[in-house]
Structure 1
C-alpha cells in the first residue's frame, strides 16, 4: 500500500496539471470571445451614435411644437363646441322654416279654393245674365280645372258597399210592378 500512495500522488498531480492547462485554455478562448464581443459592441455603439444624435435633434425640434399642441387642442375643442351650437340653431331655424312653409302652403290652398269658387260663381252669374245655359247643365269652370267624379250610389251592389240584398223587399217590389198589392205578397209568404 505504500507503493500505491506515490502512484496516486503522481496521478493526482497529473490530473491537477491537466486541469490547470484546461482552465488556462478556457480563459484564453473566453478572453478572445470577450474581445470580439467588445469590438462588436464598440462598432454598434459607433454606428448608433449618429442615429441617436439625429433623434436627439428631432426631439429638440419637436419640443416647441409639442408645447403648441395643448393650446391648439383647447382651440379645437372650443371650435367644435361652437359648431355644435351653430348646428343646433340651424336645426331650429329649419324647423321654423318648415312650419312656416306648411302654413303658407295651407293658406295658399285655402286662397286658391276661395278664388276658384268665387270665379265659378261669377262665371255662373255672368252666364245666367247673358242667358247662356251650360250645355252640360254644369257650372262653368276655370281653365285647367277638372270635373269631380260623380259619387256612386250607396246601394250599388257592384261596388260591394251598401246594404245586403233584402229578398222580401225585392219580391214586394216585383209584385207591385206586376200590379199585385204589397200585402198579397206578404200573405203568400206567410202561407
Structure 2
C-alpha cells in the first residue's frame, strides 16, 4: 500500500497536481489564459481611456471652439451668396469676378495652403475627439456585458429558470394538472 501511495504522490505530487502541471507545459490552461486575456483587455482599455481623458473645457476653450466653427458655415453661405448675387445683379457680380482675375497666382496658392491647414487641423481635432469617444464607449463594454448576462438570466428560456429551488408548494403547483377543455372534448368525440 505504501508503494502505491508513493507512486501516486510521484505522479500527482505532494498536495499538487503533477499531471496537470506536466500537461500545462505542453498546452495552456484555457481558463487561466482566458482570465489573463480578460485582464489584459481591461487594463488596455483603462490605459486607453486614461490617455484620452481630459477635463471639461473652460470658457476660453468653448469660445475658441465657437470661433473655429465659423469658417465652414461662412464659406458655404458665402458661396451660396455669390450664386444669389450672380442671379440678382449679374453686372455687379461680373465686376467682382473681374477683380478676382487680378489676384496674383502666389496669393491663390497661399490661400489654398491656409484653407488646407485650417481644415486639416480641424479634421485632426475632430478625429482625436472621436477616438476619445470610442475609448469611453469601449470602457463600458464589461458593464454592458454584465447587464446583458443579468437580463439573459431573467428570461424564462434560460436553463433552470423553472427550478423550484426546493419550494415544496411551488413544485406541487407546477405538477398539478389543470382541466383541458379541448382534450375533454376530443375524448368525448372518440369514446
- TM-score higher than 0.5 here? no
Larger Rg: 1
| TM-score, L = length of structure 2 | 0.30
Higher RCO structure (Cα 8 Å, ≥6 apart): 2
| TM-score, L = length of structure 1 | 0.30
